[in-house]
Amino acid sequence: MSHYDYDLFVIGAGSGGVRAARFSAGYGARVAIAEERFFGGTCVNIGCVPKKLMVYASHFSEDFEDAAGYGWTVGERRFDWPTLIANKDREIARLNGIYQRLLTGAGVEVFEARATVVDAHTVEVGGRKVTAANILVATGGRPVRAREPGCELSIVSDDVFYLDRLPERILVAGGGYIAVEFAGVFAGLGSQVTQIYRGPLFLRGFDADVRAFLAEEMPKKGVDLVFNEIIEKIEKTSNGLAATLTGGKVLEVDQVLYAIGRQPNSEDLGLDRAGVELSGMGAVKVDEHYRSSVPSILAIGDVTDRIQLTPVALAEGMAVARTLFNDEPTTVDYRDVPSAVFSQPPIASVGLTEEAAREKHGAVDVFRSSFTPMKHTLSGRDEKTLMKLIVERAGQKVVGVHMVGLDAAEIVQGLAVAMKAGATKADFDRTIGIHPSAAEEFVTMRQPLPDPEDGQAAARAAE
């Protein structure tokens, strides 16, 4: 047994920190964790969970409309924001309790206080100094704040979950997944929504077809998309806020939501004092076993600014526990991490975009299908689904799967397993579809798109 108070001291009880603490304690380590705000971190309190509940809430408006085509008469519809927020808060409180009990049940000592690093083996928490053989920084990230004049009148994603009322008119600034998701949520709940993004098309990093497809679908649901512009200034008016855009237009809204990126929570933590190296963006730099430049100080999750997703933070927490306390050095495999955007319609992807696949593999075969989902044949809704498979031509391995459409996340999760197992296009082809489903389209796409670089793929398909 070491002479330190603990074998592991975890700072931050979010997705990664809780996982690392619980499993380390399960392996017999003496573990403590400090949380200054809420158990479960961003995901549970102001991220994935409440966001998805709001996506569900917002979808009912369409579901009621769609029911008419199936013979239903739906009576008066009214949405009550305070009811949604109160029910959401109750569910989050339940989850907070579960997270806390998971920790204490595993034998982890819990400090409900802010913690800072004093040196390589010392942490200050709640006015006390404690020592640990290892310190794990799992402090997450926070929204980047805007700097334009009047931006103090705006909100960020953290605030959305606690608004007193649903804004009748909202301007969402940003082109990442969080901006796109909230634009959809507010539109579904009945707000008048404009989304503004400085570039020519939102969702940088996603497949080009997926980005263009969503940009066609969102306006059908009432989101006004403005690209190649930013907000110049925001001013208070008698009637709300006036946002002046660089194109000269002035939008009258009730709220401006900035979702323009996230930054690591690494300031005022004592990391500099302990000699921990940070990147220019403030992310803790770590090696493949999550050790910082000070070997007894490790970091995982959003504070390392790599793939900012809960399942990645969980896997990293698990890897730290195994490496430190189960004699099982573990590194997370960051290839082919599937992800979803809960836009409306939703997106899910795994593997490479077409652009990245061409760059990595040279010749690729691309299979693409776009169709009206069966549900909307009777609902009459003008909403399409897009599916896309990217296959590296030489080995015929499927290297990219992309979908925009109903249930995309549920469908692509299974395909991510196939990709991880190295499935080829032939494996997809000999898989029997589930009928009638949208997902079966992924195993029945036979004809590659004509290759812009040569005609080989089309010729092979014709053989």
Nearer to ligand FAD among residue 287 and residue 429 (C-beta)? 287
Nearer to ligand FAD, 351 or 448 (CB): 351
Catalytic status, residue 3: no
DSSP state of 129: E
Quote the least distance from Cβ 379 to ligand FAD, whole Å: 26
In the numeric block, which tokens belong to residue 266? 């690494």
CB of 289 to ligand FAD, least distance (A): 17
What pairing do the DSSP bridges indicate for beta strands 141-143 and 169-173? unpaired
Q: Smaller CB distance to ligand FAD: residue 24 or 379?
A: 24
Of the two residues 204 and 460, which places its CB atom closer to ligand FAD in the complex? Answer: 204
Burial class (CB in 10 A: 0-12, 13-18, 19+), 349: buried
Instruction: State in angstroms the smallest separation of the CB of 116 from ligand FAD.
Output: 6
Comparing CB distances to ligand FAD, the nearer of 273 and 460 is 273
| CA atoms of 379 and 322, how far apart (whole Å) | 51
Angle between helices 177-189 and 208-220 (to 10 degrees): 20
Q: How far is the CB of 369 from ligand FAD (least distance, A)?
A: 26
Peptide bond into 200 cis (omega under 30): no
**Least distance to ligand FAD from the beta carbon of 183, Å?**
13
Which of 3, 289, 376, 435 is the catalytic position?
Answer: 435
Shortest gap between Cβ of 19 and ligand FAD (angstroms)? 8
**Torsion sign over Cα 174, 177, 181, 182:** negative
Q: Write down the least CB distance from residue 363 to ligand FAD, Å.
A: 33
**Tokens 């939008």 map to which residue?**
251
Nearest to 139 by CA among 285, 275, 15, 259: 15
Q: Which is nearer to ligand FAD, 12 or 150 (CB)?
A: 12
Nearer to ligand FAD, 310 or 353 (CB): 310
**Phi, then psi, of 429 in degrees rounded to 5:** -65, -35
Rounded CA separation 363/392 (Å): 6
Q: How far apart are CA 187 and CA 15, in angstroms?
A: 29
Question: In the bound complex, what is the minimum distance in angstroms from residue 157's beta carbon to ligand FAD?
Answer: 4
Instruction: Please give the C-alpha separations between residue 420 and each of 65, 327, 457, in angstroms, as whole numbers.
Output: 39, 26, 24
Residues that bind ligand FAD in the complex, under the rule CB under 6 A: 11-17, 34-38, 41-43, 47-48, 51, 114-115, 138-140, 157, 178, 265, 269, 301-303, 308-311, 313
Alpha helices in 307-388 (DSSP H): 310-325, 354-361, 375-379
In the complex with ligand FAD, the residue whose CB is nearer, 160 or 253, is 160
Residue (of 103, 122, 106, 146) closest to 13 by Cα position: 103
User: How many whole angstroms separate alpha carbon 365 and alpha carbon 351?
Assistant: 14
Say if residues 401 and 206 touch (Cβ distance below 8 Å): no
Task: Give the number of other CB atoms < 10 A from CB of residue 398.
Answer: 24
Nearest-10 Cα torsion for 59, 62, 65, 68: -80
* Catalytic residue list: 435
